[in-house]
Amino acid sequence: GFDPFDNPGNPFSVRFFLIGILFLIFDLEISFLFPWAVTYMGLPLFGYWVVMLFLFILTLGLISEWIEGGLEWEN
């Protein structure tokens, strides 16, 4: 082992926590897109529009976080 650098009771950075949660959310959404990319040519037109709607909602969420300042580290 090694000696700890700080006191173990120090608070955890809320900014780091929020960025981590955003990463997990967007990573999960990207994993939903992988099966669509694999079967893209076999899907009907409806499947294409469902994925476009999903990407639109994903983009709206990203823009919302950007406007709210959720992606800013130094505040």
Q: Is residue 9 part of a domain?
A: no
- pLDDT tens column, 11-33: 777 788 888 888 898 888 888 88
Query: Residue 38 is part of which domain span?
Result: 15-68
Cα(70)–Cα(18) distance, rounded to whole angstroms?
A: 8
Q: Is residue 43 part of a domain?
A: yes
Q: Is residue 36 part of a domain?
A: yes
- pLDDT tens column, 35-47: 888 887 888 999 8
Number of domains in the chain: 1
Q: Is residue 34 part of a domain?
A: yes
Q: Is residue 75 part of a domain?
A: no
Q: Is residue 23 part of a domain?
A: yes
**pTM recorded for the entire structure:** 0.65
Kindly write down the DSSP assignment for every residue of 7-70, as one continuous string.
-TTPPPPHHHHHHHHHHHHHHHHHHHHHHHHHTGGGS-HHHHHHHHHHHHHHHHHHHHHHHHTT
